[in-house]
Amino acid sequence: METTWEHRLRSAGLRVTRPRLSVLGVLAEHSHVDADTIATAARVVHPSISPQAVYGVLKALVGGGLARRIEPAGAPALYELRVGDNHHHLVCRECGDVADVDCAVGAAPCLTPSDAAGFVVDEAEVVFWGLCAGCQVARRQHGYGAGIAIRGGATA
Amino acid sequence: METTWEHRLRSAGLRVTRPRLSVLGVLAEHSHVDADTIATAARVVHPSISPQAVYGVLKALVGGGLARRIEPAGAPALYELRVGDNHHHLVCRECGDVADVDCAVGAAPCLTPSDAAGFVVDEAEVVFWGLCAGCQVARRQHGYGAGIAIRGGATA
DNA sequence: CCCTTCTCTTGACTCAGTCAAGACAACCGG
DNA sequence: CCGGTTGTCTTGACTGAGTCAAGAGAAGGG
Ligand SMILES: [Mn+2]
Ligand SMILES: [Mn+2]
Ligand SMILES: [Zn+2]
Ligand SMILES: [Zn+2]
């Protein structure tokens, strides 16, 4: 059972191209990256790649199930290769850093709404908002310690 | 204990203005509306209101805790008055319709991530993706029945 | 009623992403 | 190995949602 990028592209019905391989290469090293960062990194190995090619490649990869797209509120979309495992995300309100959270329940959707209002639900997307370790330290050092009012109102 | 909009604005440290009252009026009748819809509706009662005023008012209301902003992936931000009850949302992949969900049932791994990776979490945001009742019917009638590949990877 | 300060209007501008036309290159068949 | 057929990439224009800034206007404390 082949698992090279070439094979995975082909079995998704996609042609194997240099732009696609370089974007996949970037995604393999960085998780939760935006299109612009991907373009910059991909240009190291394939200098002529255009921003629009990156958008196109990413759309193809997501459509083919090779990549996943997440859109944290107030930030450009992020892409990752971890796909099909229904995992969730921690997002830092301060620096935007994103960390993976394995879903304790496993299968999607991992939660069931109390009243689905007639909806057929196929996915439960969970985003945990907070402060990453680094930003907690930075706050304390700059005198923002103790109880700060954090944007967003409702506290878990 | 006063609960008029005027009072609530003032106790949030905000002045009472016509644009703010008309936006609040719109929010009181429609839930989960975008800025543009709000502007159009507010213009009925206050014709001279500018789009930027609506953005400004909404930012003030959210900042003052009178309104909540949600940003479903791939759609403009939506606003509502239900605030401080940490409720969640069902979003239709087809028509974008949004419904409120009081709380999730079942295991609650999603209020406390198994491994918070050093983050201090203050909010768990949950979005249930699926098809609303109306769009389920529409699909069946147009021959899209049975198992369709739905965007987003993991299928329930 | 006046003055200060906050808020609104107007208009330019940003950012992330899309759309479309044509050049180009991957892959299939011969 | 070569040529033709598509699918993909490049280039460049464009959109939509939202921000920023300057000045006019109005809210509300004194
Ligand atoms: Mn992830
Ligand atoms: Mn709601
Ligand atoms: Zn951080
Ligand atoms: Zn629908």
> Is-contact B145 B139, C-beta < 8 A?
yes
Interchain CB contact of A1 with B (< 8 Å): no
Q: Identify the residue with better confidence: B112 or A103.
A: A103
Above 70 in pLDDT, residue B151? Answer: no
Nearest-Cα distance to chain B for A108, in Å, is 5
Contacts of B99 in chain A (CB under 8 A): 117, 119
Please give the average per-residue pLDDT across B100-110, as a whole number: 67
Give the minimum alpha-carbon distance from A32 to chain B in angstroms, rounded to a whole number.
Answer: 15
Total CB pairs under 8 A between chain A and B: 180
pLDDT in tens, A39-93: 999 999 999 999 999 999 999 999 999 999 999 999 999 999 999 998 999 999 9
Average pLDDT along chain B:
87
> Is A133 in Cβ contact with B118 (below 8 Å)?
yes
The pLDDT of residue B108 is 53
Contacts of A55 (CB under 8 A, 6+ apart): A35
Q: What angle do CA B62, B75, B133 make, to 5 degrees?
A: 105
CB B51, CB B19: distance < 8 Å:
no
- The model scores a pTM over 0.85: yes
C-alpha B66 chain-centroid distance: 13
Pick from B98, B19, B96, B103: which is nearest to B53 by CA? B19
Q: Is the pLDDT of residue B150 over 60?
A: no
Lowest-pLDDT range of A29-33, B52-56, B86-90: B86-90
Bridge partner residues of A120 (DSSP): B131
**Which residue, A113, A7, A91, A81, is CA-closest to B90?**
A113
Which ligand is closest in space to the CA of residue A91? Answer: 3
pLDDT of residue A150: 35
| C-alpha distances in Å from residue A60, one per residue of A49, A132, A136, B49 | 16, 32, 38, 42
- Of A79-83, A112-116, B80-84, minimum mean pLDDT range: A112-116
pLDDT at residue number B1: 61
Cα of B106 to ligand 1 centre, how many Å?
A: 23
Handedness of CA B42, B45, B48, B49 (dihedral sign): negative
Q: Which domains does chain A have, with CATH numbers?
A: 4-70 (1.10.10.10), 85-155 (3.30.1490)
